[in-house]
Amino acid sequence: MGIISVFWLMLPAYLANPFAVFTGHGLPVDMGRSIGGKRVLGDGKTWAGLIGGICGGVLIGLLMMAIMDLTGEPLPIYCSEPHGIMLLFLISTGSLMGDLLGSFLKRRLGRERGARTPILDQYDFVIGAWAFLAIFQWGWFRENFVDDPRYLGMIAVLIITPLLHRLSNIIGFRMGQKEVPW
Ligand code: CTP
Ligand code: MG
């Protein structure tokens, strides 16, 4: 149960990214700027995607809260409002900040937009989401992700995420939303 609930709570972090892919276009977050001849983040990180992704993650979480309201809470919820919305905002923003940081590091390594970069591509958003929750809501994060046996859920997330990542990118590629299948 601990493992499942960690995945459940991670849904907004997972889904914030596809929302960013669908809503992303136009003005890049780095405004086209470069450091040492390399783009700060690149054209794959846009303001529209960032905002769309955060809103999408929060929306998914609100949907989760509504479902739990109807079914009588077999799984943990994002608490009651307004705390829940704040947690959703943190996990969604953390997920996309991790994604931005991942792209920042990729550009520093000299990798072009979309270049495959194991570890960073697969875990940047997970680490971002966990970091934001741990920094700003440690008590809640510890209770729901860390305390025995929940930490097993975190380990399961680390094992399964690369597989989910691969699958979602193949789907995104087939749907014409992504330029490369990774
Ligand atoms: N996207 C966006 N804004 C974001 C995140 C994603 O517009 N903040 C959109 C972009 O169209 C991007 C696509 O979603 O190309 C896929 O996201 P991702 O794989 O993270 O970007 P890449 O293009 O692979 O670029 P990078 O090498 O920086 O990861
Ligand atoms: Mg990518």
Which ligand is nearest to the Cα of residue 51, counting in written order? 1
Q: Which of 43, 45, 120, 124 to mutate to test the pocket of ligand 1 (most atoms within 8 A of CB)?
A: 45
**Is position 86 within any domain?**
yes
**Is position 103 within any domain?**
yes
Closest CA to 164 of 46, 7, 4: 7
Check residue 132 and give its pLDDT. 98
Count the helix, strand and coil residues of the chain and give each as a percent rounded to the nearest 5. 70, 5, 30
> For ligand 1, atom 14, which residue shows the shortest CA distance?
21
Distance 107 CA to ligand 2 centre (A): 12
**Is position 123 within any domain?**
yes
**Is position 179 within any domain?**
no
**Is position 180 within any domain?**
no
> For ligand 1, atom 7, which residue shows the shortest CA distance?
24
Domain range spanning residue 102?
Answer: 2-174
Which pair of structure tokens corresponds to residue 109?
């390594």
Check residue 53 and give its pLDDT. 98
Check residue 168 and give its pLDDT. 86
Check residue 105 and give its pLDDT. 98
Distance 169 CA to ligand 2 centre (A): 9
Which H/E stretch holds residue 35? Answer: strand 34-35
Backbone angles phi, psi at 38, to 5 degrees: -120, 140
Check residue 97 and give its pLDDT. 98
For helices 150-174 and 2-23, the axis angle rounded to 10 degrees is 30
- Apex CA 69: angle with CA 149 and CA 58, to 5°? 75
**The tokens 């990542």 sit on which residue?**
165
**Is position 52 within any domain?**
yes
Question: With 0-12 CB in 10 A as exposed, 13-18 as middle and 19+ as buried, what is 38?
Answer: middle
Question: N- to C-terminal Cα distance for the chain?
Answer: 31
In order along its 182 residues, the chain shows pLDDT tens digits of 778 899 999 999 999 999 999 999 999 999 999 999 999 999 999 999 999 999 999 999 999 988 888 887 667 777 776 789 999 999 999 999 999 999 999 999 999 999 999 999 999 999 999 999 999 999 999 999 999 999 999 999 999 999 998 998 898 889 887 777 87
**Is position 93 within any domain?**
yes
pTM of structure: 0.93
Check residue 73 and give its pLDDT. 67
How many folded domains does the chain comprise?
Answer: 1
**Is position 147 within any domain?**
yes
Distance 61 CA to ligand 1 centre (A): 22
